[in-house]
Chains A and B, each alone.
Chain A
């Protein structure tokens, strides 16, 4: 971006943020920021980016250098409950005694003398984590600007090595505290350019250590982290072929005329394929939608040695001459995923336009005409951001391929025969610590078969599993085609004579196979084993969970309230005949 453009973008962001403040709607995201320096100029940029992503944020700033007080009691500092707490610090203010030694050449001694101060901060952070159930974001510090030395001087490396040691020591300590996200101030300064990130005038006048340009990047980066914590990453990328996966048009230029490989422009398309391969490794599915002869496209995948991606890396293929606005929904149906989790990448503006117009939920990305800019255009997208990658995510691509095989099997038999042939087994077990991340993910993203749609943070789930009033169960499902993994969650409030099913959900991947009855039966057996005679379930309707509306009724429960259903445990303990229930929850 030219600097004129970025100044104009900054002015626009600030003016739109002011407009938002003036016509303010009710805040749905309360963010409290505490910094060891003047961070106010970043607020409009963070706020504007969040508004653009559909939030109505309220951003509060703690007085200067109040990080430890915020960790101690954020409500006193902010006067309000918050959804997100952001702690921004620099070595200069947080670790002054370590810094005293750092201008000498012995950076290792300097770093170790900073450790006691670092430990105090980390202890405060961990106390905040225990107390506060919202998101916590803490910075990694920028390279300190020490009056005693010149970063490009002959001993300049000492300062940056000291900074690296502190950053490592801090991030290792923070990794021990679950659910704290890191915002890398050093990366922000590097992206901006360290010289452009520093404005000595505003430092001396206002204690603002970053230029307006760096503050704009910092605000954007904060918004990006907050969005990544709150929304799921895209699940499927649909790709065009000609001038997207390779340069040129295979139908016209032929197999030897297209550009893909080590040399430019082929190298630019190869990098895009490498980027897509990394997405696939993270569990994001790839699919093809190209107006071409399938035979031509197959030949490129089968015969061209410059290709990184193989035909089978794509879970679904639509190589035909029909409109993409028609083929994309077919892919969505095939994969049983909503259009809003799709990204469509194409180099042709008219294809992008028509998909945008007809399928507004699909996230459309128009590739730049300049091949050299393709990689940056996709690499900086927020759509693929994902903060916690669980085992289930990285196996998703493989599981989807297994699901396709199951479909082929389904076409040849009656439903009963099909279910029997699956050799389904369901295991219901008390959740252990290592399951809580995946369980929280399911709690927050399952919309369809989710009886109560009670959303919870990782911290809340952890508390429930530890307090002794509830039991948290996971359910995993296996059949002859493979393993679906942990796909069900039940949270039970334990009473003397009744277990209340506070949460009961199944991922849509395992719906329609009787798994829900099996999990319910396992819970009924668990209740019986604990001497509890009744189960009480709830159905709270939402816009998306109609599929579960009749669940308790069909399981023989009696309606006892507007949303409440009950059954004797003994009556609910029957497992469908085609399912093997591996182990029920044991009494504690």
Chain B
């Protein structure tokens, strides 16, 4: 989980300490629609996966993103 939180922090350009499983576009000001696109690209490039549109739309918080990646067999 910590590796995913760091990745989100890096892309959103916020301090990792401000983020947790519950972090979402509703709680993080920097997580706007442009950042959402950058997050998808960063996740795919970092973990070498391809996300389906359904999976992308499911990732509405860091915890949900974590679950999607785990379900795809990604070791985080």
Q: Residues on A close to B: CB < 8 A?
A: 7, 10-11, 14-15, 18, 21-22, 38, 40-41, 201-202, 204-206, 208, 212
Pick from A10, A18, A201: contact of B10, CB below 8 A. Answer: A18
Judge whether B56 and A41 touch: CB under 8 Å. no
Judge whether A41 and B38 touch: CB under 8 Å. yes
Judge whether B38 and A7 touch: CB under 8 Å. no
Q: Which residues of A contact B48 (CB under 8 A)?
A: 7
Interface flag for B64 (CB, 8 Å): no
Pick from B37, B44, B53: contact of A38, CB below 8 A. Answer: B37
Q: Which residues of A contact B34 (CB under 8 A)?
A: 40
Instruction: Supply 19 further A-B pairs (C-beta < 8 A) apart from A14-B42, A18-B13, A40-B38.
Output: A7-B45, A7-B48, A10-B45, A11-B42, A14-B38, A15-B10, A18-B10, A18-B11, A22-B13, A41-B41, A201-B51, A201-B52, A201-B56, A202-B37, A205-B53, A205-B56, A205-B57, A206-B33, A206-B37
* A296 → B minimal CB distance (Å): 51
Given A15-B10, A18-B13, A21-B13: A212 and B56 within 8 A (CB)? no
Q: How far is the CA of A487 from the CA of B10 in the complex (A)?
A: 52
Q: Which residues of B contact A201 (CB under 8 A)?
A: 51-53, 56
Judge whether A204 and B42 touch: CB under 8 Å. no
Q: Mark B32-63, 1 if CB is under 8 A from A, else 0.
A: 01100110111011101001110011000000
B interface SS class? helix
Q: What are the 8 tightest A-B residue pairs by CB atom distance, in nearest-first order?
A: A40-B34, A212-B41, A7-B45, A201-B53, A206-B37, A11-B45, A18-B13, A205-B53
Q: Mark B1-42, 1 if CB is under 8 A from A, else 0.
A: 000000000110100000000000000000001100110111
14 contacts between A and B (CB under 8 A): A7-B45, A7-B48, A15-B10, A18-B10, A18-B11, A18-B13, A21-B13, A40-B38, A41-B38, A41-B41, A202-B40, A204-B53, A205-B53, A212-B44
Q: Which residues of B contact A40 (CB under 8 A)?
A: 34, 37-38
Q: Which residue of A lies closest to B55 (CB)?
A: A201
Pick from A15, A22, A208: contact of B37, CB below 8 A. Answer: A208
Q: Which residue of B lies closest to A212 (CB)?
A: B41
* A33 → B minimal CB distance (Å): 13
Judge whether A11 and B46 touch: CB under 8 Å. yes
* B72 → A minimal CB distance (Å): 15
Q: How far is the CA of A472 from the CA of B45 in the complex (A)?
A: 55
Task: For the complex, count residues of B whose C-beta is within 8 A of A.
Answer: 19
Q: Which residues of A contact B38 (CB under 8 A)?
A: 14, 40-41
Q: Which residues of B contact A204 (CB under 8 A)?
A: 53
* A65 → B minimal CB distance (Å): 15
* B71 → A minimal CB distance (Å): 18
Q: How far is the CA of A202 from the CA of B36 in the complex (A)?
A: 11
Q: How far is the CA of A15 from the CA of B48 in the complex (A)?
A: 17
Q: Which residue of A lies closest to B34 (CB)?
A: A40
Q: Which residues of A contact B40 (CB under 8 A)?
A: 202
Q: How far is the CA of A208 from the CA of B57 in the complex (A)?
A: 16
Q: Which residue of B lies closest to A44 (CB)?
A: B38
* B48 → A minimal CB distance (Å): 8
Q: Which residue of A lies closest to B50 (CB)?
A: A201
Q: How far is the CA of A15 from the CA of B52 in the complex (A)?
A: 25
Q: Which residues of B contact A202 (CB under 8 A)?
A: 37, 40
Q: Which residues of B contact A7 (CB under 8 A)?
A: 45, 48
* A23 → B minimal CB distance (Å): 12
Q: Which residue of B lies closest to A201 (CB)?
A: B53
Q: How far is the CA of A456 from the CA of B44 in the complex (A)?
A: 46
Q: Which residues of B contact A208 (CB under 8 A)?
A: 37
Q: Which residues of A contact B45 (CB under 8 A)?
A: 7, 10-11, 212
* B25 → A minimal CB distance (Å): 14
Q: Which residue of B lies closest to A15 (CB)?
A: B10
Q: Which residues of B contact A206 (CB under 8 A)?
A: 33, 37
* A209 → B minimal CB distance (Å): 13
Q: Which residue of B lies closest to A11 (CB)?
A: B45
Q: Which residues of B contact A38 (CB under 8 A)?
A: 37
Q: Which residues of B contact A22 (CB under 8 A)?
A: 13
Q: Which residue of B lies closest to A41 (CB)?
A: B37
* B24 → A minimal CB distance (Å): 17
* A347 → B minimal CB distance (Å): 34
* A99 → B minimal CB distance (Å): 25
Q: Which residues of A contact B10 (CB under 8 A)?
A: 15, 18
Q: How far is the CA of A377 from the CA of B34 in the complex (A)?
A: 35
* A161 → B minimal CB distance (Å): 32
Q: How far is the CA of A41 from the CA of B33 in the complex (A)?
A: 11
* B10 → A minimal CB distance (Å): 7
Q: How far is the CA of A22 from the CA of B11 in the complex (A)?
A: 12
* A10 → B minimal CB distance (Å): 6
Q: Which residues of A contact B42 (CB under 8 A)?
A: 11, 14
Q: How far is the CA of A38 from the CA of B36 in the complex (A)?
A: 13
Q: How far is the CA of A201 from the CA of B53 in the complex (A)?
A: 6
Q: Which residue of A lies closest to B48 (CB)?
A: A7
Q: Which residues of A contact B51 (CB under 8 A)?
A: 201
